[in-house]
Structure 1
């Protein structure tokens, strides 16, 4: 079968011919139809992540969509985080618990593009952030895949108003197309200025902030929260530290919460994924994405790493 292989951490993968995996008890063989190239794949393959240097060669791909007996499934893998292969191949072998049956008729490319990013957005909003109908939500980094999904999923959960913050013109456009009620440019390092921008478009205090950025944007967003408001952090692409002032934190009794998909049980993750697939089929959930053939995996990898892709790149075996 054709597969993508990482031979040396930090270098782009190559496409090779290798033996297909064989079935073993407790695992299932999946005919892969779509495998996204995600930031986590690049992080793991870089060799410097907190997971350690991966054992090479290995097939990358921490998630994918395929079929088992003709039925569609989404699946997760630990490729790059632990020994073993991932989704970027014609056939993948995964533990049965990591394969989730999907509704018939789903678009595998759309589901692959959403995947773990949409799960993170959904669970950070609802399970960790305890979003309830009628609340006002501020989504930072709303031009990314997590952010785009969060804007739409907040609406699905009943948010009355969704404000989006993004750092580039293209990202602001994606957030607006995702359905944000208002968009705010995150093009300043002035916390007070940024907080004023948020306040200008908000309908009163914000109830919940979803934050994949941290840094200055998170500090500014915290100032918009009502007393007892929540900020859920699930990333640090704007900074590993954040200048939230003590007066804001104490004076409003704010709740600052961390989130990671690693805390989810397989059952909770599966339930979230099924909801995401259902919303995608209804046309209420999608993110910017493009597809490329598996043979162009090296090019796709470089484009995703360099930030020149128009959205999440999904490889088609």
Structure 2
């Protein structure tokens, strides 16, 4: 089978297309799936560079999120069968035409939901959903400020918070991204910068946001703290800006703010002490809910651009250049044909 393989840590061009052995027969609680598409994220580049929390042994195949069809299942597998459409989370290995996975990391796709619409669900939508509910206990009617709302987790948080009954204010770097966030459910969208608090308070009658979702970090975090209401919750889920923010602890104190760090990797096995079995039932329920909402068109997860399996460098370049709205992916198996979304989507 074909796969992208990294022989040494470095830039994205270290991932070379090779022919390698197929994964073999599944164990009792494993499945083998054909990979149609796999998502590309900022974490992909960090893993190839050897700078991610998880450092795979060399050589390895990148890719942590895939969608496709089950080929074979182990003797004890009950959640899916050959031919089923599924979306999956892996430690790595998704940039290969076939992958073997534990059954509890694979999630059935509802009939009628296109593969590419399911692809962003496990990681981007899973992170946003679990952060908003498990860490912040979002309640209907609350105001949620979402930073980095134009792509990935941020856009997912806009849609999910709105679906959960929140009033959403999006913050994104370009007008196109702000317009897209409004189309996906935000009541209003603002630009990042020193005026963030002023604009958010103007939109909330001077009160501020009850929850701030921050996948960006850097200087913007300080502006977002000032945009938070008294007794608000701040959800820190990443540092897409490339800089870990300095926390203004004096503002946390005087505004009675709660800062939640949220590492989704804990729930999907990306820690030294693998906890995924413990969290699998809760995560399976979350995925069933989110995929059901996607099937019912209550949310619209989508992939904005698909690159060939040889286009990883271009995909990462688009991400780093902040050119992407939503998610990007690689086509892994050539026989799978992608149709781009229409302008109305």
1:78 counterpart (91, 96, 101): 91
Match of 1:7 in 2: 7
Q: TM-score, normalised to structure 2's length?
A: 0.81
Match of 2:76 in 1: none
RMSD of aligned Cα (Å): 2.1
Q: TM-score, normalised to structure 1's length?
A: 0.88
Matches within 5 A, 1:1-317: 1-11=1-11, 12=13, 13-25=15-27, 26-52=29-55, 54-68=56-70, 69-79=82-92, 86-159=93-166, 161-186=167-192, 188=193, 190=194, 193-203=195-205, 204-238=207-241, 239-246=243-250, 248-264=251-267, 265-283=279-297, 284-287=299-302, 289-309=304-324, 311-316=326-331, 317=333
Match of 1:83 in 2: none
Match of 2:339 in 1: none
Gaps of 5+ in 2: 71-81, 268-278, 334-345
- CA deviations 1:236-295 (Å, max 9, x no partner) are 23331235250x322221111111112321222222222221222222222452223334
Q: Does the CA-based 8 Å contact 1:40-1:62 persist in structure 2?
A: no
Partners of 1:122 and 1:91 in 2: CA distance: 28
The 10-residue stretch of structure 1 (250-259 or 260-269) with the greater mean CA deviation from structure 2: 260-269
- CA deviations 1:167-215 (Å, max 9, x no partner) are 23333233223221111111x3x3xx33112212224332111111223
Residues paired across the two proteins, number = 304
Gaps of 5+ in 1: 80-85
